[in-house]
Copies of this chain bind each other. A is one copy, B any other.
Amino acid sequence: MTDSDDQPERKRGTGSRLVYDTLREEILSLVLQPGEPIDEIGLADRLSMSRTPIREALVRLAADGLVTLLPNRSTVVSQIDFPNLHRFFDAMTLMYRVTTRLAAEFHDAEDLVEIRARQDAFARVVVAGDTAGMIQLNRDFHVAVAEAGRNPYYLQLFSRLLDEGRRILRLYYYPTFEPRLPHPYIQEHEAMIAAIAERDVDTCDRLAKDHADKIVQQIQQMMARDLRQDIKL
């Protein structure tokens, strides 16, 4: 058996989506590292399809900013844009605030159920000490809040920022994580849910800002520590 995958009879039209989802997950989880080239032919071979749907997926990933298409040269996983990191934090903070505010204004009962479910899932992985899951489910929680806010434009930008944040957090947060309960983020999420349910826009804004500031501060501390270590060596 030279071929590990036998063809599972994919349906017509699902090829590009499969490649897109696979690559996206591998990029965001740093299985594919920034700068790493992506081999079209290898992928075609691995997923047993032609290059056409793969190139289509790469074009979509490029639109998301996850890969960079170098003309007539290889496609590479996009670098994390460190010189622009403070701009990233700025946009992230604004989106935290805006989406949480809008959630307080426009949510309905079903939204609260969904948000609550995400928060419970988040709490579970925190208890389990599953850091990768924590990053993922924190993202899901805030996406659920943003969806309750009903603004697709903010949702799109916020999703993109949260994805980019997944890569950054993986780099700086994961190696230094030590589980402790009750985790402050869980409590902050709980406070947000309460404020959203009470439709208290101002409190939502304040909580979101504090939450964002804390995350940014934490990442910056870790980055600084990281840099010092580099100098020490």
- Residues of A whose CB lies within 8 Å of any CB of B are 12-13, 52, 55-56, 59-60, 63-64, 71-72, 81, 84, 87-88, 90-91, 94, 98, 150-154, 156-157, 160-161
| Seed contacts A63-B64, A94-B98; 14 additional CB < 8 Å A-B pairs | A13-B71, A55-B56, A56-B59, A59-B63, A60-B63, A81-B152, A84-B151, A87-B152, A87-B153, A90-B151, A91-B154, A94-B94, A156-B157, A157-B157
Which B residues touch A88, using CB under 8 A? 153
Which B residues touch A71, using CB under 8 A? 13
A118 vs B153: C-alpha distance in the bound complex, in angstroms? 26
Instruction: For residue A216, give the distance in angstroms from its CB to the closest CB of chain B.
Output: 14
- CB pair B157–A161 under 8 Å, yes or no, is no
A156 vs B64: C-alpha distance in the bound complex, in angstroms? 11
Which B residues touch A90, using CB under 8 A? 151
Which B residues touch A152, using CB under 8 A? 81, 84, 87
- CB pair B91–A151 under 8 Å, yes or no, is yes
Given contacts A55-B56, A59-B60, contact A87 B13 (CB under 8 A): no
Identical subunits present: 2
- With CB as the reference atom, state the residue of chain B lying closest to A161: B153
Top 10 A-B pairs, shortest CB-CB distance: A63-B63, A91-B153, A87-B151, A157-B157, A59-B59, A13-B71, A56-B59, A60-B63, A59-B60, A13-B72
A169 vs B52: C-alpha distance in the bound complex, in angstroms? 38
Can you list 9 A-B contacts (CB < 8 A)?
Answer: A13-B71, A84-B152, A87-B151, A87-B153, A90-B151, A91-B154, A153-B160, A153-B161, A156-B157
Which B residues touch A60, using CB under 8 A? 59, 63
- CB pair B52–A150 under 8 Å, yes or no, is no
